[in-house]
Every structure is written in structure tokens, then in C-alpha cells.
Amino acid sequence: MDSFAIIVTGWFDGETNHSPVPTTILVEDGIIADIATGDHGDALAKRGAAVHRGGYLMPGLVDAHVHLFLDGAPTDGKARSEHLKQPLERLTEAARQSARQARAAGVTVVRDAGDRHGINHRIRDEARRNPGTMPVVRSGGLGVKRPKRYGAFMATDVGEDGDIHASVTGLAADNDEIKLILTGIIDFDAGAVTDEPQFSAEDARRVVDAARSCGRNTFAHCSGVKGLTVAAEAGVGSIEHGFFMTREILEIMAAKAIAWTPTFCPVHFQWAHPEAVGWSAPTVANLRRILDDHAHHLVMAHRMGVPLLLGTDAGSMGVEHGAAVIDEIERYVEAGMSLDATLTAATASARRHFGHPHPVLRKGAAFDAVLLAISPFDDIRTLRSPLGVWRQ
């Protein structure tokens, strides 16, 4: 039996900070065999366990919204469109690198929010065989969208006359979740979402019902009141982005337990680096207003009991796999969320939403964890340089 013990100065179980509380965590064959207060290292060493002392332990981070096949590092529009034109093998290699990068940063689960080639499925399989270098990949495969509407890089078309049930059932065979593209991107110059939702509430509900009949949850890409209303009425599993949120929509989300992944990162990047896109001063002011409104509604959502996830949209311009999770954590804290609630969104809430058998670190759970030098409650910057990462 492979056994080791870590004696930490404190730990976060996924919901609660236990710090400073010296604690011994014993791991046997990848499973947490015991968690005990105090330093029991000497006794465990005598029984043959390897013992490591020091640091702060928390569950592996979950990025609930990434696009593995996209590289967030290039911020030049031309370089970004060239990236998409590369042959499949090159894009697959990019996805592999993204996964490794996330894992090295302490991210042990990612939910891929779609790519039109199904590269995410392939990386999911590779990641199963490479727990030491890649996170668990929850793959959205291809999402569903309407013809000639936004989302061609990540979704397949379902026409007005198409059979939604058949399309979704087909996708559900391989997709861990079904992604529904409801609206396009935000018009930052206008400071609004200007397009009409791609699906009516009735059709969106057909997608949700078809997915559910296959045992699959749904996640909806949408922003703007019209799209959000459709998503909330259809009862999707989670709303992604959700800019221009309102209290009324949050009330429906709380009542139906619809989760929210606000993805501050891509908008924050464009606000912080307007030169990358060439935004004018009025547009930068729009970006700031949109971000502030988003932050206000995030805190409101938390108070109202809306399940919160934390996702980055990594792969978007300036949003780098791995590091972006810590950026997004900083956005939650800046918004006024406590660090406990923020880290819960980044760990236990996501695992619970994904139906994980052990959403928090406890005896009997798989050892899926990040070791930090010190408590992030003392200095949040410690999240940026994990000392060790273990994946289930």
C-alpha cells in the first residue's frame, strides 16, 4: 500500500477554513484514510508512511468554464484567428498544453465549454490516462446553436425545423453536459447585448428536457435580459457569463437552483488592456460599468442562495489557462465576496454541481488537493505558486 501523511498548519475542506489548526492528513492509495487534529507524523512514520510537514491544504481548484483548444496568451486579433486555422493536430496539441498548464496551477477539474472539432473529448480521454499532468476534463463536446448565429467555433446547428430531441440525444452520448448557445457576444461599444436569443423558452426547454432524459445537465451561454429570461424559464443547469443580470432573474435561479458561472476574466482583460482591441474611452467606461454591475449581482446572487461556480472562459483573449482561476478568485473577492465563499465556488460547489461523490475533503474521499506554502486567508498570493498538486 502506498501511504503518506501531510501535516499542515491549516486547511480548507471545500467550504470551511480550519486555520490555524495543525492537522495530519493520511492518504492511502490515493484515498484520504484519516484527518486528525495535531501532528501524528512520528507515529505514522513508524508505520512506514512518508511524512511531509508544512503548508496549507485545500481541494484542487475547478475551472468551470474553459476552452482547451484556445490559447489565451496571444492578445493580437490576427494571431488569434490564425490559431483557429491550424490543422487539427496542432489544435489538439494546444489543448493538451492548456490542460497541463491548468494542472500545474492547481486546477484538477475543468469543464470544457465547447469546441467544434471535439478536441475536448479527446483530451478528456488522454487526461484519464495522465492524472499526474492533466486535470479531469468534463467535456461539453459540441454545443447547440441556431444556423448562421454566434458560436460556430463551439457548437453545431439545430434549425428551426430540426429535431431538437434527436440532436441533443445524439450529442448526449459523448457530452458530459449539453451546452446551449442562447446569445452572442456583448456589443461593448453599445454596452449591451443587441441580438435576439437564438432559442425561444419553449425550444430551450426542449433542449433541457432532451438532455435530462439522457441523464445530462445543461449549461447556457447567455448575457442580456432576454437571453437570461429564456435560460431561467427553461431551467438550464447553469448560466454561463450572465452579464446584465437582474434581481428578478436571480430570484428564478435561486428558486430553481440554477447555478451561475459569471466569468469576469475576459471582460476584465479588455477593460485592463483596451489597447489590445483598440477600445475607445467611452467603451472602456462601458466595460467598467458592466464589470461593476456584474460584481454587484454576484454578491446579490450569493446572498440569495444561487449556487455559484467559478469559471474563467480561459482561451479567450488574455485569459490564460490555470493562472486565470486565481484572477477570477480575485475578481470575486474584489466584488465583496468572502474568501471562504469564493473558494467554495472554486472547489466544492462545482464538484457538487457536477455530481461528484465527495465534493469536500474528508475521510474516504479521493485525495484531490493543492498544497500551498501558507494560508490564502493570510495572503491570497500564495494561490499562485502551489507546492504540490494531487488529482483523484
Q: Summarize as ranges the residues that interact with Zn ion (CB under 5 A).
A: 113, 313
Question: CA 54, CA 31: separation in Å to the nearest integer?
Answer: 20
Cell numbers that stand for 179 in this block: 451546452
Phi, psi of 358 (to 5 degrees): -130, 85
- CB 182, min distance to Zn ion, A: 13
Report the C-alpha gap between 147 and 127 in whole angstroms. 32
Residue 241: strand pairing partners: 222
Q: Looking at beta carbons only, is 68 or 113 nearer to Zn ion? A: 113
Closest CB to Zn ion among 134 and 317? 317
- Residues 369 and 27: their CA atoms lie apart, in Å, by 11
To the nearest whole angstrom, how small is the minimum distance from the Cβ of residue 151 to Zn ion? 9
Is 27 or 113 the residue whose CB approaches Zn ion more closely? 113
Question: CA nearest 125: which of 133, 109, 136, 115?
Answer: 136
Q: Shortest approach of Zn ion to residue 180 CB, angstroms?
A: 12
User: DSSP code of 198?
Assistant: S
Contacts of residue 7, Cβ cutoff 8 Å, sequence gap at least 6: 22, 23, 24, 25, 39, 40, 41, 51, 52, 53, 54
Q: Considering only CA atoms, which of 188, 187, 199 is closest in space to residue 149?
A: 199
- Measured from the CB of residue 192, what is the shortest distance to Zn ion in angstroms? 19
Q: How far is the CB of 179 from Zn ion (least distance, A)?
A: 9
User: Minimum Å distance from CB 227 to Zn ion?
Assistant: 14
Nearer to Zn ion, 55 or 227 (CB): 227
CB of 113 to Zn ion, least distance (A): 4
Task: Specify the residue, 113 or 168, whose C-beta has the smaller distance to Zn ion.
Answer: 113
**Cis bond before residue 20 (omega within 30° of 0):** yes
Contacts with 105 (C-beta within 8 Å, 6 or more apart), sequence order: 61, 321, 322, 323, 325, 326, 384, 386
Based on CB atoms, which residue is closest to Zn ion, 313 or 368?
Answer: 313
| CB nearer Zn ion, residue 113 or residue 287 | 113
